[in-house]
Structure 1
């Protein structure tokens, strides 16, 4: 099979079956080759804060969900609200479906953060870049970038099947087939299904469904072809679907007195609970989400050695969610939300170089079309003399983004390298929305909020760049200093009569150190950084709806340390530490929870999702049994100090310090073809929240709970060469 050249371009050995294999430990830490800076280099040679995990690493450490990356990646924060997954790195993340951390699958930028569910299956590796990536990645990458690289076809036929059962009536199955179709064409197919028969957020109202139950299904096909000696192609087709009440929210803090003052409703006898993983919902919740992605990647090597790459992507996202909005036994509101998104992206780049200079230049285009409905149903005449529906929002949005970039690294000497890059981005947006109130039996809207239908057309542009210097020390370590810029696009507050919000910009200053110690048995990476933000974007609540506003200036100072080490012959230790000191500048904002206080000064308050201290720790022990089988036992822990979710710096806006511990035990047969994994996630049953509503809805603060303890078992059978 003549796919060797394609395998080489994927930066890792394609022949691996991408399953848990080789529990035996070498004397050196595995060198992981990455392409996060759009060129091939090892993690320790990359002048940037980056963490990379191979597919084997993910399986060995039991990382099967996006949220579990916090156990292996410094500064990584995962959140969830209304079923939408959000990522924050170094305190910078997503809200209002505009990510602050860019996510890509095989180079295709994901338009919606929640679509990353598909990326968690059958991976070759994951790369997490920390810090602004405005030069090589462009818009909405202020916090960093997460790149999922899927497993590619193998030279020989390989397949595997994995089945699992776990608490809360979880039953899962995953299958992979990989191999050649001809001498020049290979295929890899992966599919998975998870049935969650019992919800882990209990609805205490009799007769109504629990939350976090339902089904998840994923499918992906990768087809690669060596079209000629200097041209290869990769076609990928993926589908993801989830259904069921997938929102892990509950009431985090009760505010019954505040609820009474807002609604003027009698609330005596209303049932509300702050207990973790429990909620009173006088109504059923449901969701139905489908995501489809197709991509085509072409690699063409020119006669002069330069490489031309084309990445074409198409994405379709359909997201429906409905359920009670107040979290009480009254059932005051029922909300319905639906979002449709169609996104087309195209990147073309050309790269080349010699012993002294390496460079890349490219162009990027995106067309993103979205429509959204947000409806509140009123099952009782709470605010109006007759039942009906309160239609909050209908929105259509079309965004076109074009950019051009150039990046280079020049070797001044054998030990010194200089880097320089620049990107020019232009954004054009056409937005149309309406906020209207209807009642049953009345065809026309009773009230046109903000004048009914609003239409806005506007453009914005941004210039982002980077500069770096690298120095190889005499003992084989690398020291680097870098300056980088990023920006996050602005937008329209379609859900409230408020002005648009401006783009957010950041300038980052970072110094780092990377070294390989103990004859290759230990790697150490450290970085200190300072962020200066302008027009920092935050979410706030006006009335009962959320809007985006600009907080002015903000700063983040931080330090990161990452260590991976082989201790003795059978112990492996990995650890990460992040220290953050974040603060808003001069920023006045009105708190919906303290409306009588007027505008509050938030200067000096910590940024959202930016805990002062974050720790992740992984310890693995290998045992060779008399039968020839290998046993690997691992502990993974993640600690976060107090984390705030709003800018006002109030205790009720925060999650106290917490630690989550996962245990894994992998037993691999002597021939490596059968692997059994026992796991206990959240071993101590720690209760913590991963997201918090920006306002207060009726009876208390809505929050998304992290999953309680879950114990389970998985069995994987391999067929063919691994």
Structure 2
């Protein structure tokens, strides 16, 4: 009933938008983008790129990376124990070696820290689709997401925003920006969320609900004009996340094992075992906890001379990630997991760019030193379902340290053959050196009447040290043709490289680097006197040594899946229909497949244990065949003063597979997410308010899937249910 009422309300809201007098539409404002490391716009860049302004992020409440996927074509964001798993056009997947690069003000984020990012006080977000191996180097096969923070203002500006939402969510955000001299300006931003009630209900008494706790972000930017030619920027930031945010709910495979209302009681050592596959509910006999801390300090120096510019970006990042709790969704907390990661990353980029006649160019060098220490303990203590589906008890302890050094040298240029024809070329040489030192212990549990004991085995034969290096050359070539003053056609070839790595949960040789060759043809046009923009792209990817992650027993491992292909079509449209009414939308079709990939399925057939599966022709993980987003926004000046902006966005994803074996039990069926916002701004611009409904139809969907060899089910993190909330903002000074 509640769902039907909500749908009718949304439909009524949309209907009121359309009952207005049509007036002359304004031209769409162009957003400056720097994803190509040179200033341009979305419509003049020969690549598939989407830019979302800071105002749009704020108006639609896109305060986390996971929300962006409902507004940008081809982007999928999953989550596993608090770590974001980004994929663009089906490419990305797992945390240790991500396939989508994320940067903040040009600083490449260290692995895993994208889960800490907040869309707080941003100028814009740029999403670049397709391999970025020339300009960005390693781990950008799927694309790149660039966060650009808002800069200090010439005049004093500030705001304070208070938020209230369901599940006892209380939030505060503040911004202060001001010049402190004629040549120096500062901008300070912070936000804090206190989620007092978890939106995943733990049905076990005296144990925590999940998805609750606190999140805090802080950022300081100092800009200084050191001379007429030299500018400097200091960025300091810190993020903290604490509480039981990270849940893995039970997803039934065998219907006998779960009842969506109360769960099915089983017996283990005389104690009941309760399971449920109901959305946003869980049986967890463990008070899971997590804590993440992220610090960043960067200095950017920008020299602008007569014909050449030199930019230096120096950054240090520190990341700590801690999780302790159950990951099986059962009342006995069978699948216990402890993980801690402590990482320090130093990066330095130096680039030189210029314009010489019809030639524009950029060249640079990039260096990274990433050091990481990790502890991981996983236990599966005993045959919980021994009378139904036997499985062995297991235990694993590993303590790896990594040291990754990467050096890249690149050059990229565009030459104008005529006023309407341009060609581009780029090349990058990457050298990676890896050192991995780790120990790993495993055991077979002995389960007795009231206790479990274990004998540890040195799985790797003592301290295992592995050193190896990789190198890659990635290239880019493009042709751009202006078909009119407001339209262009482009064709491009680009390559990507995702570094190999070491499985610290197994005693095997490193997995190999993944490479991709991508071909793309695109069309971009500005229509209707600037009121409409249309971009389309047709692309084909050839992957070699495609990397996939899987769980064997209780160990996560990475395999090279041989070759894979992706064919796709993208369409993106924005249009100001009238002075107040605008629409936007995007559609992506993906046809993805493994070419020849024989792999072990740790689940196997029911009762048969581990088996080999030929996965040729199966759809890639995180690659729905169809994805669609449609947005409507209506702005109206109120007769009583002030402005009211109403918006609604609907996003659809077809079936998403999370394992490579083509099993429907490993997939999320197609789903739709609807978000609605109403924004009010006072006539003098000093007050604002936003009323929002997230996931208005209360759609139940999960964002990832994890398995073990238990065969009794999969474990999933649910997407957030419907949430209604209100934000009130007070502005000070001049924007």
Determine the C-alpha separation between the residues in 1 that align with 2:492 and 2:75: 21
SS at match of 1:67: helix
Matched, 1:271 2:274: yes
Q: Which residue of the partner structure matches residue 667 of structure 1?
A: 680
Match of 1:12 in 2: none
Q: Which residue of 1 aligns with 2:592?
A: 582
- Aligned partners of 2:653, 2:27: CA distance in 1, in Å? 30
Counterpart of 1:711?
724
5 Å-filtered alignment, 1:505-584, equals: 505-584=515-594
2:65 and 2:117 in contact (8 A); partners too: no
CA distance in 2 between partners of 1:242 and 1:106 (Å): 22
Counterpart for residue 489 of structure 1: 499
Contact 2:652 2:671 survives alignment (8 Å):
yes
Q: How many pairs are equivalent?
A: 692
- Alignment-derived partner of residue 369 in structure 1: 371
**Offset, 1:700:** 1.9
**659-668 or 534-543, larger mean C-alpha shift:** 534-543
1:360 to 357, 362, 386: 362
Question: Does the Cα contact within 8 Å between 2:657 and 2:668 map onto a contact in 1?
Answer: yes
SS in 2 for 1:652: helix
Q: In 2, Cα distance between the equivalents of 1:697 and 1:381?
A: 9
For the pair 1:282 / 2:282, whether they are aligned, the reply is no
- Worse-superposed segment, 587-596 or 512-521: 587-596
Whole-Å Cα distance in 2 between the matches of residues 324 and 475 of structure 1? 59
Contact 2:344–2:370 (CA under 8 A) maintained in structure 1 = yes
Q: Report the Cα distance in structure 2 between the residues aligned to 1:446 and 1:235, rounded to whole angstroms.
A: 49
Q: Is the 8 A contact 1:111 1:343 kept in 2?
A: yes
CA distance in 2, matches of 1:326, 1:519: 56
1:107-147 CA distances to partner (integer Å, 9 max, x unpaired)? Answer: 00001244353341110000000000000000000000000
In structure 2, the residue matched to 1:641 is: 654
> Does 2:273 align with 1:308?
no
Contact persistence 2:541–2:567 (CA under 8 A)? yes
Q: What's the TM-score once normalised by structure 2's chain length?
A: 0.91
* Alpha-carbon distance in structure 1 between the residues aligned to 2:369 and 2:594: 33
**Runs of at least 5 residues in structure 1 that lack an aligned partner in the other structure:** 1-23
Aligned match of 2:300: 297
| Cα offset, 1:451, TM superposition | 1.5
- In structure 2, distance between residues paired with 1:331 and 1:694: 15
How far the C-alpha of 1:391 sits from its partner, in A, is: 4.4
Q: Name the structure 2 match of 1:15.
A: none
Mark the runs of 5 or more structure 2 residues left unpaired by the alignment: 1-22, 259-265, 386-392, 447-453
Is residue 232 of structure 1 aligned with residue 231 of structure 2? yes
Matched, 1:606 2:619: yes
2:423–2:479 CA contact under 8 A, matched in 1: yes
Q: Is the 8 A contact 1:325 1:697 kept in 2?
A: no
How far off is 1:624 after superposition? 1.4
Q: Residues 439-486 of structure 1, C-alpha deviation per residue, up to 9 Å, x if partnerless?
A: 99xxx9831013132110000001000000000013531000000000
Structure 2 CA distance for partners of 1:236 and 1:697, relative to 1, 3 Å: farther
In structure 1, the partner of 2:261 is none
- Distance in structure 1 (CA, Å) of the matches to 2:340 and 2:614: 36
Structure 2 vs 1, CA of residues 629 and 267 (structure 1 numbering), >3 Å: closer, same or farther?
Answer: farther
Which residue is equivalent to 1:467? Answer: 477
Q: Distance in 2 between matches of 1:204 and 1:301?
A: 61
Q: Does 595-604 or 492-501 show the bigger shift?
A: 595-604
For the Cα contact (< 8 Å) 2:267–2:273, is it kept in 1? Answer: no
1:120-131 equivalences in 2 (<5 Å): 120-131=119-130
- CA distance, structure 2, for counterparts of residue 551 and residue 75 of structure 1: 22
Deviation of 1:695 after TM superposition, in Å, equals 3.7
Q: 1:206-217 to 2 correspondence within 5 Å? A: 206-217=205-216
Q: Which residue of 2 aligns with 1:690?
A: 703
CA distance in 2, matches of 1:600, 1:331: 31
- Residue 672 of structure 1, CA deviation: 1.5
Which residue does 1:427 correspond to in 2?
Answer: 432
Taking the aligned partners of 2:498 and 2:396, their CA distance within structure 1 comes to: 29
Deviation, 1:493, is: 1.4
Q: Is structure 2 residue 607 aligned with structure 1 residue 594? A: no
Residues 1:44 and 2:78 are matched in the alignment: no
Aligned match for 1:700, one of 691, 713, 720: 713
8 Å contact kept, 2:307–2:356: no
CA contact (8 A) 1:581 1:612 kept: yes
Does 540-549 or 48-57 show the bigger shift? 540-549
CA contact (8 A) 2:394 2:554 kept: no
1:499 pairs, out of 509, 512, 517, with: 509
Superposed CA offset, 1:240-287 (max 9, x none): 00000011320122458899xxx9967994211111111111111000
| C-alpha spacing 1:267/1:545, structure 2 compared with 1 (3 Å) | farther
Distance in 2 separating the partners of 1:683 and 1:60: 17
Q: Give the equivalent residue in structure 2 for 1:179.
A: 178
Task: Identify which range, 644-653 or 470-479, moves more after superposition.
Answer: 470-479
Corresponding residue to 2:347 among 345, 348, 351? 345
- Aligned match of 1:324: 326
Where does residue 335 of structure 1 map in the other structure? 337
- What does the per-residue CA deviation read over 1:402-442, in whole Å, with 9 as the maximum and x for residues that have no partner? 010000000001100000000000000000111125899xx
> CA contact under 8 A between 2:83 and 2:95: conserved in structure 1?
no
What CA distance in whole angstroms lies between the structure 1 residues aligned with 2:293 and 2:571? 38
